[in-house]
Amino acid sequence: MAVVKMCQSCALPFNEEHARFISTEPDGSRSIYCNMCYRDGKFTEPEITMDGMIEKVVPILGKSIGEEEARKEMAAVLPTLERWCVM
C-alpha cells in the first residue's frame, strides 16, 4: 500500500507535525485516515456528508488561510479523497 500524504476523509496533512494523528486499523497497521475521522476500524461520524465535512473543516483551516479560501480548497480536495470518491 502506498503511503498517503493526508487523511483520506478530511485532508489533514500527514506531515511530521500531524503524524501523531494517523489512525491505525484494528490489526495495528497504519490507516489512510486520521484518528479524528476514524477509530477502531470505523468512521467517527459515519453519517457525515462531504458537504458536512467541508463545513466542519472550514472554520479550522480558515484560521490560517481565511474561510473563503478554505472552502474553495476543501471543495476541490475532498472529492479526490478515498472516502468521498467512492460515494
pLDDT tens string 32-74: 999 999 999 999 999 999 999 999 999 999 999 999 999 999 9
Question: Where in the sequence is the domain holding 68, given as residue range(s)?
Answer: 19-85
Looking at the structure of the chain, the number of domains it has is 1
CA 39 distance to own-chain centroid: 13
Instruction: Report pLDDT for 86.
Output: 64
Q: Kindly report the length of the chain.
A: 87
For the chain, what is the radius of gyration of the CA atoms?
13
Give the pLDDT band of residue 7 (cuts 50, 70, 90).
very high
Within a domain: residue 55? yes
DSSP state of 45: S
Q: Contact, 78 vs 84, CB < 8 A? A: yes
Q: What is the pTM of this model?
A: 0.89
Within a domain: residue 1? no
Reduced to 3 states (helix: H, G, I; strand: E, B; else coil), residue 60 is helix
Within a domain: residue 4? no
Within a domain: residue 36? yes
